[in-house]
Structure 1
Amino acid sequence: MIALCACVGLLCAGRGELTPSSWELYVLSHNGEILSTHRLAQKVSVRLQNDGRFGGSSGCNNFFGSYEYGEGVLVLSSVGATRKMCDTKSMDIESLLLTLFRDGKASYTLENDELILERDSLKAVFKKAR
């Protein structure tokens, strides 16, 4: 288990709230190339809950699972998703995002109302939902 910060529900050193929070995708890059996420079937989003669960939209389907977090690392588990078909562009973006939100570790940075998630060659920048 990852050691959690002493400040429950907040990141250490007052860097900002991680849970509960809702985030909307702002920028997605794969191998350093910025991908267009405009005109997807649904807005890409993720919501982190205090009880260690998360969920969101990957542009076509919804995904969900459990998470723990420590210094700069999210550990995702029991991840699942709905399975409807959408247009090709939405499905391509979704495939990349579900690689980011699969069981295992993803690194994160939280600053200036942005949540940056990275795994392998993927980088997703989320803005805090208002």
Structure 2
Amino acid sequence: MKISMFLCALGAFLVGCSSTGKVSNEQLKYTQWQLTHIGKEVIPDSAISLQFIEAMQVNGFTGCNRFFGAGRIESEQLFVSNIGMTRKFCEGSINETEQMLLNMLEIGVPTKIENGDLILNGQPRLKFKSIVAG
């Protein structure tokens, strides 16, 4: 009887923890994400993506350039350091979006997983959906 009560309490605790939206290095490792929203604006068929691979290495595409760096979660924020990237020139809003995303990642951005989506709570808020590598 005591064991079943303990298991019920443990289950309730784990469900409570998973609903907070907090994200860890382990949750992000080996996942891929595609941008769906910038602020409240829906971005249909966005090419902007993030991928987390071995040892929290981050790869991505900004809509113009590919980038990579060393990721880490610290105090509920995602930081990407040592960012390297291709150097294609892009104009207008594509360049602005690229700079905004890379700046967020470099200085650190509050990050959570909410309803299966990756949320970067910067200015503006970025929402990514999970994609299956193929």
Residue aligning to 1:86: 90
Equivalent pairs: percent with the same residue? 25
Superposed CA RMSD in Å reads 2.5
Residue aligning to 1:129: 131
Q: Give the deviation of 1:44 after TM superposition.
A: 0.1
Structure-2 separation of matches of 1:92 and 1:115: 21
Identify unmatched segments of 5+ residues in structure 2. Answer: 1-15
Which of 28, 36, 49 is residue 38 of structure 2 equivalent to? 28
Give the number of equivalent residue pairs: 111
* Correspondence 1:95-114 to 2 at 5 A: 95-102=99-106, 104-114=107-117
Identify unmatched segments of 5+ residues in structure 1. Answer: 1-11
Q: Which residue identity does 2:121 align to in structure 1?
A: E
Structure-2 separation of matches of 1:113 and 1:39: 18
Whether the 8 Å contact between 2:119 and 2:125 is mirrored in structure 1 is: yes
Q: Give the deviation of 1:56 after TM superposition.
A: 0.2
Whether the 8 Å contact between 2:58 and 2:80 is mirrored in structure 1 is: no
Residue aligning to 1:115: 118
Tell which structure's C-alpha radius of gyration is larger. Answer: 2
Q: Give the deviation of 1:57 after TM superposition.
A: 0.4
TM-score by length of 1: 0.71
Q: Give the deviation of 1:70 after TM superposition.
A: 4.2
The 1:39/1:23 distance shift into structure 2, 3 A limit, reads closer
Residue aligning to 1:56: 60
Residue aligning to 1:3: none
TM-score by length of 2: 0.69
